[in-house]
Amino acid sequence: MDESETAPNDDYEHPDGLDYILESVLMPSDGSKEFKFLADEYNSVLLNPCHCKGACENSEVCAHGGQYEFTEDGSELILRNSANPVIECNDMCKCCRNTCSNRLVYSGPRKHLEIFDSPVYGSKGLRTTAKITKGGYICEYAGELLTVPEARSRLHDNEKLGLMNYILVLNEYTSDKKQQVTIVDPSRRGNIGRYLNHSCEPNCHIAAVRIDCPIPKIGIFAARDIAAKEELCFHYGGEGQYKKMTGGKTCLCGASKCTGFMPNTEIEE
């Protein structure tokens, strides 16, 4: 992929010296057949450009459009329906970047986000300094793309060494059949998405977003209107479709419906 054409606009950085990346990258090669398959997927391109001359505002006009819509005042694109996978327009599409209404994750994280010391969780967290409308895009949950064996190995090491675990497993289904598993680990290389904490009553949720690659980006969106200075959180269990592997630690979210513990899940085949 040509990084100069596809890299999002991201001016953030880590306060703790980690390797900041703009979007998810491959894990180091381990020579396995699983890695070869992952690398082949990562280097593949979705050859289905749109040929729109308009704004790609709906699925009747654009083969990709229909998942985003503008707010009532026209100031921002927001996610219309989080239940459906999103395919954004890309550099091969004939539409104009400046007028296309189907490029959101493509452009990078929103402004007015800040990493801070969360008094609720006793760790770093992410909050917004400006109001966010329901459906508004926050950022990608970016990190190293892992194979299943590598993810299990890192999970084992994290538990053995008592390290914080950031591995997120995104399971996509068609009806009851699993179609794809995407595993992201931002513990070594990542972006600001790694600082969102878990909540049993989250104000954010995640969605699979594809731009020019079969491997989706994990987009984080506002699940409701979010006030300025409010900490951003999502549910690590992902309501059964998106699972973050954790050690089953005590949950600190303090929500009225808090379960008392963070989700503890396994990678499914």
Return the CATH number at 139.
2.170.270.10
Environment class of 202 (CB within 10 Å of its CB; exposed 0-12, middle 13-18, buried 19+):
buried
Residue 3's pLDDT band (boundaries 50, 70, 90)?
A: very low
Residues 75 and 151 in one domain: no
Residues 62 and 158 in one domain: no
pLDDT tens, 201-240? Answer: 999 999 999 999 999 999 999 999 999 999 999 998 764 4
Classified as helix, coil or strand, 105 is helix
107, 130, 150 - which closes a domain: 107
Whether the predicted pLDDT of 129 surpasses 90: yes
Contact 222, 132 (CB under 8 A): yes
Q: Can you tell me the mean pLDDT for 22-50?
A: 95
Give a yes or no: residue 177 inside a domain: yes
Domain interval for residue 171: 19-45+109-269
Whether the predicted pLDDT of 7 surpasses 80: no
Residues 97 and 115 in one domain: no
Give a yes or no: residue 8 inside a domain: no
Give a yes or no: residue 25 inside a domain: yes
Measured at the alpha carbon of residue 136, what is the angle toward residues 224 and 164, in degrees to the nearest 5? 80
Residues 88 and 54 in one domain: yes
Other Cβ atoms less than 10 A from the Cβ of 64: the count is: 25
Residues 69 and 135 in one domain: no
Residues 216 and 256 in one domain: yes
Give a yes or no: residue 10 inside a domain: no
Q: How many residues in the chain?
A: 269
Give a yes or no: residue 98 inside a domain: yes
The tally of domains found in the chain comes to 2
Residues 139 and 266 in one domain: yes
Give buried/exposed letters for 119-137 (b at 16+ CB in 10 A, else e). eebeeebbbbeeebeebbb
Give a yes or no: residue 261 inside a domain: yes
Contact 8, 23 (CB under 8 A): yes
State the sign of the Cα–Cα–Cα–Cα dihedral 46, 67, 194, 16.
positive
Residues 101 and 232 in one domain: no
Q: Can you tell me the mean pLDDT for 150-160?
A: 92
Other Cβ atoms less than 10 A from the Cβ of 96: the count is: 13
Classified as helix, coil or strand, 195 is helix
Give a yes or no: residue 6 inside a domain: no
Residues 23 and 101 in one domain: no
- Token code pair at residue 166: 């950031």
Residues 6+ apart with CB under 8 A from 74: none
DSSP string, 146-174: --HHHHHHHHHHHHHHT-----EEEEEEE
Residues 217 and 120 in one domain: yes
Give a yes or no: residue 9 inside a domain: no
Whether the predicted pLDDT of 72 surpasses 70: yes
Closest CA to 63 of 87, 42, 41: 87
Residues 138 and 186 in one domain: yes
Residues 100 and 133 in one domain: no
Residues 6+ apart with CB under 8 A from 190: 14, 18, 19, 20, 21, 142, 143, 144, 166
79, 107, 135 - which closes a domain: 107
**pTM of the predicted structure, to 2 decimals:** 0.91
Contact 216, 172 (CB under 8 A): yes
